[in-house]
Amino acid sequence: MNDFSYTQAATAKEATTLRKDTPTAAYIAGGTTLLDLMKAHLQEHPQLIDINALPFRGIEQTKDGLRIGALETMSDVGEHPLVLQQFPAVSQSLLLAASPQLRNMATVGGNLLQRTRCGYFRDPAFPCNKRVPGSGCPAQDGDNHNLAILGVSESCIANSYPGDFSVALAAFDAVLTLEKGKGKQRHVPLTDFYRLPDSTPHIETVLEPGELIVAITLPTAVPAQRSTYLKVRERSSYAYALTSAAVGLDVQAGTIRAARVALGGVGAQPWRSREAERTLVGQPATDATFRAAAAAALQGAQPREHNRYKVELAQNTLVRALQQVAAG
Amino acid sequence: MDTEPQFFDTNATPGVVGQPLNRVDGWAKVTGQAKYSAEYNSLPGLVHAVLKTSDVAKGRVTGFDTTAAMKQPGVVAILTHQNLPKPVKVPDSQVNKGTLNSPMGFFPMLSDEVHYAGQPVAIVVADTLEHAQYAAALLKVNIAPETPVSSYQDPKAERYVPKNVKGTAGVTKRGDAQAAFQSAPVQLTATYTHATNHHNPMEPGATTAHWEAPDRLTVYDTTQGVSETQKTLALMLGLATEQVRVVTKYLGGGFGCKAWVWPHVVLAPLAAKAVSRPVKLVLTRQQQYTGMGHREEQEQTLRLGATKDGKLLGIVHEKTSTTSPWDDYAETNSRIINMLYALPAFESTYHLAKASVMTSTSTRAPGDMPGSFALECSMDDLAYQLGIDPIQLRLLNYAEKDPTNGHPWSSKSLKQCYQRGAELFGWNKRNPKNGQTRDGKTLVGWGMATASYPVHNSQGNARVRLYADGRAVVQAGATDLGTGTYTIITQVAADALGLPPENIRFELGDTILPSTQWSGGSTAAGRVSSSVYLAAQDVWQKLIKLAVADKNSPLYGAKSADVEMGNGRLQLKAKPATGEAFTEVMKRASLGDVEGNAQGRYGSVYREPSAAADADMNKEEKEAAAGYSMHAFGAHFCEVHVDPELGTVRVARWVSVMSAGRILNPKTARSQVIGGTIFGIGSALMEQTVRDPHWARYTNADLANYHIPVNADIPDMTVDFIDEHDPHVNAMGVKGIGEIAIVGVTAAVANAFFHATGRRLRSLPMTPDKVLDALRQPA
């Protein structure tokens, strides 16, 4: 990787000012994904601004739910009693990801900004519209086994966010608090945070230059408490999801009163399926209902040669997750 | 030696052989004191070389833009085909390939030619690794691309039948297998495919080259054979063998990829010559995928004919696989299919297609591993079709002698392996019908398969120096791949010298030590143990000679043949009370130490060295002349749980029982079996390197995307050994155990999958997409 300078910022103001002075600088928190990207020459930054001293910490109960500081680690959030009680799927999504060593280093804010594991993006020898806009997408007719089938475009079929945590956040209506400097904050629902590839796959989120993720808030809800995160992968741990599902159900007297569904591994971005939720609500909590919801979720799938299996696997994953939650 | 060496007998010399001794190098490894080949950092003026490799799979280099790279701090040189010193000989013809221990008939950076993605096209040398890496990233290589061929599956690929592959004829026939199959009452035909696999040793390939003088080169290399690397480097660099020293004190796994001299091993000394400084060159994890070979992607069609009672009549086997533009290389899958059962007729044909890839190479149990997948799945099919228990079917076709040449086995305990394995596993509780057992949402199945690996002839020297204080230095230029060679040889030397193991220092991995062959093909344990044992005998014979000629010895006047060593004493065989400590003999003779040397032989060369050394004989003829066929055998049993909706296959239980002669150390042997089995489980369920069909470049060349099993994929494993007394294989009665454990593993998993689901999956790895496909088929 290139030589870079390293500066510790004590406050958000200092961090955003440094970033404004050097637009090609990058923030570094846990560093678990940034250093990989820099080593592979996928990103180059002359300066790294360490934000670990910023006060973006704490896992707190608010009157509406939970507020999680962006600099909390995946381990600490995943194992926190409040998260375990109120958002079991969120806890599972964190603890099923990566390895203990990585979870101890990686922050939840940084987790949201992981980049795709598409082999064509990760190897600069290949063309890639996400890495070099306009260069092409060999994944379309190449090795697309792990890639997305929902929200994809002719420019890109990568699962731009390859992880698990954002999938659970998408399901349970998380809102991100962002700060651009001068203490000005804005709130963006997780489901609006990521952008679909369309013809600009290199623009992945609505995060503005220099903007920081401050906190994640999760509103308390019955389906969030009765939730699960199911992850299907080729080996039992330390692998990205082929398909995953974050689901929550509020079932009363056998009838589904509320439902939350998001899918991982299949979407160009974490895939909240309101179609599936609509199919579930008001219906009996039976396998037939779950299958109908799964079919609705995958309605618009656009598979390629080697990821066709995901249409079925994602439905089976969702059905299994719903069965598990319904069974309590 | 004055007397015929005795076959090593643990009853006569009770000691540490056969005991589960902890690794003697364990402490050095866990404390970081074990020095690996990339850790010789204090060489004077050491600089770091980083390979720049080709992005494209085929083309011609049209130029380099070195401007930005040269501007970087610390850059010493940028070497390309235009300014790198040339080797005097390269493996570019069959002749040179025969003398050079290099499996690839092409050497990069001699011209502008590019033949595979990842081929070295330049070397950047700098003062630090980081500077070299970054400068290499800034170096621009312009290549005029041409259309590559990605694999045998590429529509552009041309298939052909080679004259021979790896010493085996492209077409071989034993009896009339076609006719036997055509007229067989039971006929099975099936095609099996196998993804590209890589070795993925924890330690990547690394070479540090130090020219101590223009005619004196020392190389610290990650090699399974220092001697072979020494000879090859000498030939390629125009030096005499003795002018090259190769050192490999520790190796972080080899699995076959470090058995050869790959281009980077030669590029490092060439770069060191160019910059007149010691050069360290370490392959990156990504370069490991295009730097040291791989197991080739392949498909096999097996046609099996049998009687209605399940007796095999004939097998016709065809394999199609990818090779490089220069070499007719394929793993010889046919070997195990030919020999494993009492098979009257066999025919095998190899089909190859040249593609824009480097030459594939030996990968743990080359040939036998994928060959056993096809054979052992087909045997399972036959068992189900005829309603015979899979073990019964194998016993029905048990080869009491080698079906390929009619020779008796030097030892074979396969029946005992089946029996012990079945007991340990509880095979008798197996439901003969498949698809019957559920555990919650998952389908449960049991499978088994046979394992076998041949004894490859091998020989080498060792030296034992016994000091008067009862300590000893033992030396052989062998390699410990991380598997326990240091430990087992220490045990053998301890018992052979009648000393406690802590009094033995075993040195290996250096060409200044007595030369011995590489550690490959499961030969090291059998060869090195016997050479050390015999060298210790040589020490004793020298001491006995001294004692019987020494008037002050209680043994004075005895015949040498009547004296033996026992617990550090020289004593009369007939009257052990008469004798003395060896230290007394040495003291009186004023000897500080006594040295013994010996050559140890493994395989048929042990008993019949003259016949086996006959240069006019091919390998099969030599083995035939020796009179015995030599193989290790074993059996695997496993339980898998298949999730029919999520497509996942998880191994829940595993039992392996192996018979491989004398087990020198059951702890390191068990680790070998566990390691081989896990390697096989990886191949069965998840391992595959994917080459883009248009770019002929790997899309998952790292350990994040090439999945090897994690701990959570592996259940508790039961490993047991059948004791074997084999006086034919070598002086220690030892057969290797490095490769056999992987043989049969993929089939055992596939057979358990079939038992669980009633569907046969013949394509590896059995990933969820394939599992869902298979489950859509009618049972």
Q: Where are the domains of chain B?
A: 26-36+458-623, 40-146+202-253+258-288, 298-399+410-455+630-776
Question: What is the C-alpha separation between B360 and B344, in angstroms, rounded?
Answer: 32
Question: Average of pLDDT values for B519-542?
Answer: 95
Within-domain flag for A297: yes
A142: which chain B residues are within 8 Å (Cβ-Cβ)?
692-695, 699
- Structure tokens belonging to residue B750: 């596939």
Residues 237-296, chain B: which have Cβ within 8 Å of A? Answer: 286
Q: Where are the alpha helices (DSSP H) in B414-472?
A: 414-425
Residue from the list B56, B698, B768 with its beta carbon closest to the beta carbon of A309: B768
Please report where in the chains the tokens 């493994």 appear, as a residue. Answer: B602
Domain B40-146+202-253+258-288 carries which CATH code?
3.90.1170.50
- pLDDT confidence bin for B9, thresholds 50/70/90: confident
* Inter-chain CB proximity B697 and A125 less than 8 Å: yes
Phi then psi for A255, rounded to 5 degrees? -110, 140
Distance CA B300, CA B304 (A): 13
pLDDT score of B2 more than 50: no
Res. B1 pLDDT band, cuts 50 70 90: very low
Chain centroid, CA B255 distance in Å? 5
* Beta carbons of A234 and B769 less than 8 Å apart: no
For A298, the 3-state DSSP assignment is coil
CATH code at position A302 = 3.30.390.50
Q: Which residue has the tokens 């490799």?
A: B53
Smallest Cα–Cα separation from B699: which of A120, A147, A265, A37? A120
**Proportion of chain B above pLDDT 90, given as a percent:** 92
Q: What is the pLDDT of residues B662-704, one digit of tens each?
A: 999 999 999 999 999 999 999 999 999 999 999 999 999 999 9
SS3 B363: coil
What is the reported pLDDT for B283?
98
Number of domains present in the structure of chain A: 2
Instruction: Give pLDDT, residue B98.
Output: 73
Q: Evaluate whether residue A138 is within a structural domain.
A: no
Beta strands in chain A (DSSP E): 5-8, 26-28, 47-50, 59-61, 65-69, 175-181, 184-189, 212-219, 227-232, 243-252, 255-264, 271-272
Give whole-number Cα distances, B466 to B490, B535, B582, B762, in Å. Answer: 13, 11, 10, 56
Number of Cβ within 10 Å of residue B639's Cβ equals: 22
Q: What local confidence, expressed as pLDDT, does residue B607 receive?
A: 83
Stretches in chain A below the pLDDT threshold 50: none
In contact, B325 and B114? CB cutoff 8 Å: no
B309 Cβ under 8 Å from any chain A Cβ: no
What distance in Å separates residue A62's CA from the closest CA in chain B? 37
Q: What is the pLDDT of residue B616?
A: 59
Question: Using 50, 70 and 90 to split pLDDT, how confident is the model at B624?
Answer: low
The tens digit of pLDDT for each residue in B171-204 reads: 999 999 999 999 999 999 999 999 999 999 999 9
Q: Which residues of A touch B773 (CB under 8 A)?
A: 309
Q: What is the pLDDT of residue A166?
A: 98
Q: A124 to chain B: which residues are within 8 Å by CB?
A: 55
Active-site annotation holder among B299, B347, B623, B739? B739
Percent of chain B with pLDDT over 70: 96
Distance from CA of A199 to the nearest CA of B (A): 23
Starting at the edge strand found earlier in the chain, the sheet holding A5-8 runs: A5-8, A47-50, A26-28
Considering the domain B298-399+410-455+630-776, what is its CATH architecture?
Answer: 2-Layer Sandwich (3.30)
Chosen for mutation from A32, A45, A141, A235 (greatest number of chain B CBs closer than 10 Å) is A235
Residues of chain B with Cβ-Cβ distance to A229 below 8 Å are none
Does residue B617 have a pLDDT over 90?
no
Domain assignment of residue A229, yes or no: yes
B102 vs B61, more confident: B61
Q: Among B441, B710, B773, select the one facing A237 at the smallest CB separation.
A: B710
Work out the average pLDDT over B587-594. 96
B772 touches chain A (CB under 8 A): yes
Strands A175-181 and B717-721: unpaired
- B26-36+458-623 and B298-399+410-455+630-776: identical CATH topology: yes
Query: Which domain, by its residues, includes A254?
Result: 223-326
Residue B612 binned pLDDT confidence (cut-offs 50, 70, 90): very low
Q: How far is B709 from chain A (nearest CA, A)?
A: 7
Check the CA dihedral A30-A32-A36-A37 and report its sign.
Answer: negative
Task: Mention every residue, 6+ apart, whose C-beta is less than 8 A from residue B396.
Answer: B309, B310, B311, B388
Q: Is the peptide bond before A55 cis (omega within 30 degrees of 0)?
A: no
- Using one digit for the tens of pLDDT, what is the confidence trace for B232-289? 999 999 999 999 999 999 999 999 999 999 999 999 999 999 999 999 999 999 999 9
| The domain defined by B26-36+458-623 carries CATH number 3.30.365.10 | yes
**Probe site for chain B from A99, A143, A147, A304 (most B CB atoms < 10 A):** A143
> Is position B621 annotated as part of the catalytic site?
no
**A38 belongs to a structural domain:** yes
Do B655 and B424 contact (CB within 8 A), yes or no? Answer: yes
The nearest CA of chain B is from the CA of A315 a distance in Å of: 9
Mean pLDDT of B753-765: 98
HEC string for B75-130: EEEEEECCCCCCCCCCCCCHHHHHHCCCCCCCCCCCCCEECCCCCEEEEEEECCHH
Substitution target from B52, B55, B284, B692 for chain A, most A beta carbons within 10 A? B692
pLDDT surpassing 70 at residue B303 = yes
Using CA atoms of B657, B663, B665, B668 in order, give the dihedral in degrees to the nearest 10: -40
